[in-house]
Structure 1
Amino acid sequence: MKTSVSQFLSKTKFFSKVAGVVVGLAFSQQALASWHLDPLHSELHFVTVKNTAVTEVHSFRTIDGMINNQGVAVVDIDLASVNTHIEIRDERIKDMLFNVVNYPEASLSAQVDLKVLNGMKVGEIKTVPLTVDLSLHDHQQKIDTKVSVTALSDGAFQVNTLQPIIINTAQFELTDGVKALQDVAKLDSIATSIPVTAQFVFQPE
């Protein structure tokens, strides 16, 4: 039996509605997507230079963060988790530089374009300009940088700094703390410009 024109149009409208709902749900899920920082695969390092020529790389053991469904990315850094591979130096930095009793955390925040993330295929890499707000010791500074974003499997992303971000201790009133560390360690100098690099992996919620 031949399908009538009215039946054909009816079916066409039905499938169009179903397709519209499916597409709508897909975009809705993308819009509502959020990610959490994977601490096991994320790293934050900083470099110090003492006595002009001695360079050392340090890190933080504990960082946490997320990207919410509005594209707001936040990474919190536990300053008490500083790791310089020398215990007495860790304690001095926590007490004399960071003053972790009063300032336990630093934070990074940025606005991320979700269209960029949602449009990437697994293995694809993009260079993304980013303005990062760094909050440290009750001071905030905006930092313009570029990061490399790699789409991983299962909706995850890896974000890497493309070049070190230079933190000036004077902008956060940490210069006195640096001088105190220099004096207690009997050093000739400690550089007050600190290069920072990061690798963050975000897993979907």
Structure 2
Amino acid sequence: MSNVRKFLPNCLVALSVLSTAALADWKVDSEQSKVFFISTKNLNISEIHSFSRIDGQLSSDGQFSADISLSSVETGIDIRNQRMRDMLFKVDLFPKANISATLPKGIMSLAKGESMHTELPATLTLMGASKALNLDLIVSKTNDGKYMVSSAKPVLLGASELGLQDGVEALQKIAGLTSIGLTVPVTFNLVLN
């Protein structure tokens, strides 16, 4: 009986530590999170597009990683969505883009209701190519303990740096356009539960 008395409290302490560790991680809420990008065709016609499926997590030590499902691209036109999936992103070979970063301790220690403006390095991996980015962010911790991470200014991505130039040219040709811009501004709004 004395062994049981010793075992039970130790077991409860271990379970408590494990449950606290499990609760210390935040997951991207895909339904409330979006990544937006703007494309420009024929020199002066700009359109806003988005990705709607984002899976990711933030650990209590600030390690962040998110996968963006490239098949979730939404342009408002079904045939253009399909062409982007097949010709630009080649989702059969490269279904996801990944972004990773380490958030500073100040963000991880935000109190509920506080916000912070920060710049931090990140790495984007897309179609087998990696690019170092400098993200300008507004990070808030809501009153219910969620994190909200939004771009304070757009990130400019060049198609040629990420292996997308051939896909852009193929889209331009099939759509009969005079041009499609090779630099794309990207913004995002992520909610982490």
TM-score between both structures, scaled by the size of structure 1: 0.81
Aligned-residue offset at 1:117: 3.1
CA contact (8 A) 2:31 2:53 kept: no
Equivalent of 1:161 in 148, 151, 167: 151
Equivalent of 1:58 in 49, 57, 60: 49
What is residue 98 of structure 1 aligned with on the other side? Answer: 89
What is residue 7 of structure 2 aligned with on the other side? Answer: none
Residue identity matched to 1:62: R
Aligned-residue offset at 1:151: 1.2
Aligned-residue offset at 1:34: 1.2
Aligned-residue offset at 1:145: 2.1
Identical pairs, percent: 35
Aligned-residue offset at 1:118: 4.0
Alpha-carbon distance between aligned partners in 2 of 1:147 and 1:117, rounded to the nearest angstrom: 11
Aligned-residue offset at 1:32: 7.5
Aligned-residue offset at 1:156: 1.0
Q: Indicate the RMSD between aligned Cα atoms, in angstroms.
A: 2.0
CA contact (8 A) 2:62 2:108 kept: no
CA contact (8 A) 1:48 1:191 kept: yes
CA contact (8 A) 2:107 2:116 kept: no
From the superposition, tell whether residues 86 and 42 of structure 1 become closer, same or farther in structure 2 (CA, over 3 Å).
same
Alpha-carbon distance between aligned partners in 2 of 1:80 and 1:37, rounded to the nearest angstrom: 18
The DSSP-based 3-state class of the residue aligned with 2:177 is: coil
What is residue 83 of structure 1 aligned with on the other side? Answer: 74
What is residue 15 of structure 1 aligned with on the other side? Answer: none
Question: Higher helix fraction: Structure 1 or Structure 2?
Answer: 1
Aligned-residue offset at 1:85: 0.6
What is residue 112 of structure 2 aligned with on the other side? Answer: 122
From the superposition, tell whether residues 92 and 44 of structure 1 become closer, same or farther in structure 2 (CA, over 3 Å).
same
Question: Is it true that 1:192 corresponds to 2:182 in the alignment?
Answer: yes
Aligned-residue offset at 1:183: 0.4
TM-score between both structures, scaled by the size of structure 2: 0.86
**Tell me, which stretches of 5 or more residues in structure 2 are unaligned?**
1-15
**Tell me, which stretches of 5 or more residues in structure 1 are unaligned?**
1-24
CA contact (8 A) 2:67 2:99 kept: yes
Alpha-carbon distance between aligned partners in 2 of 1:158 and 1:96, rounded to the nearest angstrom: 33
What is residue 6 of structure 1 aligned with on the other side? Answer: none
Which has the greater radius of gyration? 1
Question: Is it true that 1:143 corresponds to 2:114 in the alignment?
Answer: no
**Mean Cα deviation higher: 115-124 or 55-64:** 115-124
Residue identity matched to 1:86: I
Question: Is it true that 1:35 corresponds to 2:26 in the alignment?
Answer: yes
**Mean Cα deviation higher: 67-76 or 137-146:** 67-76
Size of the alignment, in residue pairs? 177
**Mean Cα deviation higher: 120-129 or 59-68:** 120-129
The DSSP-based 3-state class of the residue aligned with 1:41 is: coil
Alignment of 1:167-178 (within 5 A): 167-178=157-168
